[in-house]
Structure 1
Amino acid sequence: MVTDSYGNPETDENAQEQYLDLIFDVLASKSRQYALAYLRSCSHPVEIADVAAEIAAQKQQTSRSELPENLIEREYIALLHKHLPKLKQLNFVYYRRDQSTISCTTAIQSIEPFLELILTKEQKSES
């Protein structure tokens, strides 16, 4: 018998609840929201540095060309050590370490409605 972390029998409902908790945890971060939004708009693998620059630009509400290098570097480090592992855990991204690139997997389709809702709400609040 499979049990959850509390020793209760694992059910489909428990598994679904845990999966939703993981999704909400992933989408709780602006950096991950921006990264996923950017990656799903790209049809090919993207260099991690480009994703980091996009995250920094979104956070600063400015263009990439106006960003100081230290902000991009901060996002790059956070991507590598914090955000990519979480996104990989749920199979939302494919990371090629040898090429320093990432891309979306088809699993992102399962969270697109949540991501769209978050991004649309954010755009409305900025208006």
Structure 2
Amino acid sequence: MIKNLGSPTEETIASGIRDARAVELFDALSDQCRLRMVDHLAESNGPVALADLAQIVAAMETGTPVEGQSEDSYRTTYLNLYHNHVPKLVHADVVDYDENRKTIELVDSAELSTLLQFVVVERGPNEASKCSP
């Protein structure tokens, strides 16, 4: 007899990940902006320039093409990624950031891969989840 397990919960996902590590990953990915960053990095093959990532995230937030982003929108997003979100993801060992090249890359982690299978990323505009303050 097959039992219906329903949708995954934080508890069922975390059961396959060390408890402290699970809390750290959930905390790092609890922000929609960081989820957008990680979502794009997961689809990329290798490092991505932080400047390019800021343009992509700003486009996701506003629902407009990368080419249609204002300089102000891009700059605000870039600064917020650089000062707030990248350090949080680096500290949680979700991404590697190369300060010299200004590139960011997703860490190859089975725990992170498992968690990302169950994450839903909002791609359209949403004032409550903007990367900019």
Normalised by the length of structure 1, the TM-score is 0.74
CA shift, 1:110, in A, is 3.7
Residues matched between the structures, number: 107
Aligned pairs for 1:1-127 (under 5 A) are 16-107=18-109, 108-115=112-119, 118-119=120-121, 122=122
SS in 1 for 2:87: helix
**Higher relative contact order (CA closer than 8 Å, sequence separation 6+):** 2
Q: TM-score, normalised by structure 2?
A: 0.71
Q: Deviations over 1:23-72 (max 9, x none)?
A: 22222211101100111111021100111111111010111111101111
State the alpha-carbon separation in 2 of the partners of residues 80 and 113 from structure 1: 26
CA distance in 2, matches of 1:111, 1:54: 23
Query: Whose helix fraction is larger, Structure 1's or Structure 2's?
Result: 1
Which runs of 5 or more structure 1 residues have no equivalent in the other structure? Answer: 1-12
Q: Give the aligned CA root-mean-square deviation in angstroms.
A: 2.2
CA distance in 1: counterparts of 2:28 and 2:93, whole angstroms: 12
Aligned residues with identical type, % of pairs = 25
SS at match of 1:114: coil
